[in-house]
Amino acid sequence: MHRVTKTELEEKVDFINHTLYSNVDGKYYTFTGGFNERNYKGKFVLDKIHNGYQLGLIVNDNGGQREIGYYRKTAREMYFFLDGFKRGLVQAKNTLELI
């Protein structure tokens, strides 16, 4: 098994945000086509807290967030958690395209 890095986890979170919001102007991308670095409502963020990682969801325009998952996870646990989330999104998107 390979060592899981924070960069790998952030790439998975970026993929999730891109999958959900790439077609919404002003969310994932700004109106001029650049990447939106701001925290917008519905964006997933990765937090490194003490000895673990936590996935958060931005719930208001001021950047308040709630935790997704029940506990802090190690890097490897978060890797598999995000991978399952990513696979679920891809499967749901493929299913919707068939309807």
User: pLDDT by residue (tens digit) across 53-81?
Assistant: 999 988 887 778 898 888 899 999 999 99
Whole-number Cα distances in Å, 91 to 40, 67, 78, 97: 25, 24, 20, 10
For residue 4, the model assigns a pLDDT of: 92
Which among 6-10, 23-27, 46-50, 92-96 has the top mean pLDDT? 6-10
Q: What are the domain boundaries of the chain?
A: 6-98
Chain centre to alpha carbon of residue 35: 15
Q: Is the pLDDT of residue 16 over 70?
A: yes
Q: Is the pTM of this model over 0.85?
A: no
Query: Is the pLDDT score of 89 beyond 80?
Result: yes
- pLDDT band at residue 25 under the 50/70/90 scheme: low
